[in-house]
Amino acid sequence: MEGLNRAPDERVRAPSWAIAAAAALGAVAFLWAGWKAVSGSDAMLGEFAFAIAAGVAGFFVGRRDVTVIHRAIRRALEGHLEPAQALGRWRHGRAVADYNTLARRLSSLLDEMERSQLWTIAERNRVDAILQSLPCVMLVVDDDLFVASSNDRAEGLFGRGGTELRASNLFDLLELDDEGRELLREAFLYEQPLSNREIVLGSGESRRHFTMSVTFFKCALEAGGPCSVIMLQDVDDYRRLQQITYQSEKFVAMGRLAGGVAHELNTPLGTILGYAQLLNAGGASEAKRAQYGQAIYSEAKRCAQIIDNLLAYARRDRCVPETCDINAVIGIVIDTICNCRGNRYNVPIDVDLCECPPVLGGSGQLDIVLVNIVMNALQATSGSAREPRVLVASRVEGASAIVTVTDNGPGIAAGLHNRIFEPFFTTKGGNKGTGLGLAISQSIAVSVGGALHCDTTFRGGARFVLKLPLAQESSLGGTGT
Ligand code: ADP
């Protein structure tokens, strides 16, 4: 019915010869039958003739309907779908009425089809515009792995026109290295979608990094395998920029570290140099010389401590995934502190430990973390609190062990919660702090997949929270300590 033009007001006229013939025959039959009846010569024959005449007239009226419908059908085939109507005062029969109903329904169906067609075209244009404006290469691939359609960027990347691209096999077109080929092969074999997987396209000078995403969809009922959409995003420039940024960040960090180390070592070295000069000058009493010697010794020890801390910081990346019993480490750390380094603070340490499965991290590493946090707590409380107290607690939360070290000291000033984790940040005057303890502890916690932070919501002192992944929840095998 393509090209149908509908003009409902332009009615088809019934054939006038059929009407005229039917009317004439009807009239003759009627007159003859009437004459016979009036003359009384043959009443039976008159009735018979009347019936014949009526039948002939009915036949022509019926034929008139068929002719009208036939005409209308011919007009419809020529492209004009319109209702059929008899000419003049003759009323058309049921067949014409039914045909007209059919024509009306067909007409509204065609209207709807036309609207759908226009909508489909508009949608196709919209989708086409979206695909063309995509900032990446797009290929739609048939179930036989041949390109079915593509966007302009694909033509640009592969240097082929749309028609040529459509004749290309995906694997031949992409020129993947072995790794990428295997990745794509497996994706198609198991219909496994890919999302932003990095691949390398081309070789030599034209070698570039891309991310590839593959989505599968059913293209047609009779199709054997699925069709797919391949998206390729060129990330070569981004990677290069990332590398440059990474390098420059490393240089900045190195510069900061060097500056910090220089600053930290300069102070004790200056003191050592001063006392060494005094010793060298001679003339000092025995007691003074002993005092100078002691000062040189303690400052040299401080230098060694700074260097030890730096080495611990540098070694953190080489940690193997060990596991340990964190409650046992807490016990050892508290014993050591109470019996040795921390006993001069005279601050009681309470413990509240819950049963805890092994955690990731070697006891040697976590020992450093806990000593740093607990020593800080002791130092903070000893000088300020009326009844100084430190509490070390452990508990299990989901897939992690949580260790908290809480004290009732002055707490962390607002705005310093993040800064205290920066290397060389210290508020401890008189060469008492290096500012490396928390930085090192945090980097150790992160290196085992955990975290260390200061609870900003805690009031009445300071609370440090060490989060460590439970070994059983992790896929890493531990060596146990
Ligand atoms: P250092 O102890 O050598 O200063 P850290 O990195 O261990 O270096 O600590 C950095 C800073 O964090 C400390 O100088 C101190 O200001 C603050 N800090 C750490 N722990 C506490 C605490 N429990 N209470 C108050 N301040 C703390």
Residue 17 has a pLDDT of 62
State the DSSP string of 122-135: HHHHHHHHHHHH-S
384 within ligand 1 shell (Cβ under 6 A): no
* Identity at 75, one-letter amino acid code: R
pLDDT (average), residues 121-146: 90
What residue has token string 């060097």? 258
Ligand 1 center–CA 434 separation, angstroms? 9
In contact, 32 and 46? CB cutoff 8 Å:
yes
Report the alpha-carbon distance of residue 273 to residue 280 in Å, rounded: 10
| In the predicted structure, residue 221 carries a pLDDT above the cut 50 | yes
Report the alpha-carbon distance of residue 181 to residue 176 in Å, rounded: 5
Report the alpha-carbon distance of residue 430 to residue 166 in Å, rounded: 76
Residue 2 has a pLDDT of 43
Nearest ligand 1 atom, CA 438: 6
Residue 26 has a pLDDT of 66
How many residues belong to the chain?
A: 481
Report the alpha-carbon distance of residue 58 to residue 69 in Å, rounded: 17
The pair of structure tokens assigned to 365 is 């590493």
Q: In this structure, which residue's CA is closest to atom 8 in ligand 1?
A: 435
* Identity at 54, one-letter amino acid code: A
What's the burial of 331, exposed, middle or buried (CB within 10 Å: 0-12/13-18/19+)? middle
Q: In this structure, which residue's CA is closest to atom 23 in ligand 1?
A: 377
CB atoms within 10 A of CB 314: 12
pLDDT in tens, 377-420: 999 998 776 789 999 999 999 999 999 999 999 999 988 998 99
The side-by-side arrangement of strands in the sheet containing 227-234 is 147-150, 137-141, 227-234, 208-217, 194-201
Q: Beta-strand (E) ranges in 281-427?
A: 323-324, 349-353, 359-360, 390-397, 400-407
The pair of structure tokens assigned to 399 is 């897939």
**Residue of 353, 392, 348 lying closest to 370 (CA atoms):** 392
Largest CA distance in the chain: 180
438 within ligand 1 shell (Cβ under 6 A): yes
Of 66-70, 318-322, 367-371, where does mean pLDDT reach its minimum? 318-322
Report the alpha-carbon distance of residue 91 to residue 104 in Å, rounded: 19
**Residue of 291, 52, 408, 409 lying closest to 44 (CA atoms):** 52
330 within ligand 1 shell (Cβ under 6 A): no
Report the alpha-carbon distance of residue 436 to residue 430 in Å, rounded: 16
| In the predicted structure, residue 209 carries a pLDDT above the cut 60 | yes
Residue 97 has a pLDDT of 84
CA 34 to chain centre: 95
Nearest ligand 1 atom, CA 432: 3
Q: In this structure, which residue's CA is closest to atom 19 in ligand 1?
A: 376
For the chain, percent of residues with pLDDT exceeding 90: 35
Nearest ligand 1 atom, CA 436: 6
Q: Tell me 222's DSSP state.
A: T
State the DSSP string of 19-67: HHHHHHHHHHHHHHHHHHHHHTS-HHHHHHHHHHHHHHHHHHHHHHHHH
Helix axes of 363-382 and 326-339: crossing angle, nearest 10 degrees: 50
The pair of structure tokens assigned to 297 is 């010794």
In contact, 227 and 216? CB cutoff 8 Å:
yes
435 within ligand 1 shell (Cβ under 6 A): yes
**Residue of 136, 140, 22 lying closest to 90 (CA atoms):** 22
Q: How far apart are the first and last CA of the chain?
A: 85
| pLDDT band at 357; cut points 50, 70, 90 | very high
474 within ligand 1 shell (Cβ under 6 A): no
386-421 burial: b if 16+ Cβ within 10 Å, else e = eebbbbbbbeeeeebbbbbbbbbbebbeeeeeeebb
What backbone phi and psi angles, to 5 degrees, belong to 478? -105, 160
* Identity at 327, one-letter amino acid code: N
Residue 452 has a pLDDT of 95
Ligand 1 binding pocket mutation candidate from 267, 305, 376, 419 (most atoms within 8 A of CB): 376
C-alpha to C-alpha distances, 453 to 312, 385, 438, 441, nearest whole angstrom = 19, 23, 9, 10
The pair of structure tokens assigned to 210 is 């891309």
Mean pLDDT of the chain: 82
| In the predicted structure, residue 126 carries a pLDDT above the cut 80 | yes
pLDDT in tens, 256-309: 667 667 767 877 788 899 989 999 988 889 898 998 898 899 888 878 877 877
Ligand 1 center–CA 188 separation, angstroms? 56
Q: In this structure, which residue's CA is closest to atom 22 in ligand 1?
A: 377
Ligand 1 center–CA 262 separation, angstroms? 21
Residue 34 has a pLDDT of 65
Torsion of CA 156, 161, 167, 168, to 10 degrees: -20
**Residue of 440, 296, 300, 456 lying closest to 375 (CA atoms):** 440
pLDDT in tens, 111-120: 999 999 999 9
Ligand 1 center–CA 466 separation, angstroms? 15
Residue 123 has a pLDDT of 94
pLDDT in tens, 7-64: 444 444 445 565 666 667 666 766 776 676 666 656 666 666 667 767 766 776 677 7
How many helices (H) and strands (E) are present in the chain, helices listed first?
Answer: 12, 12
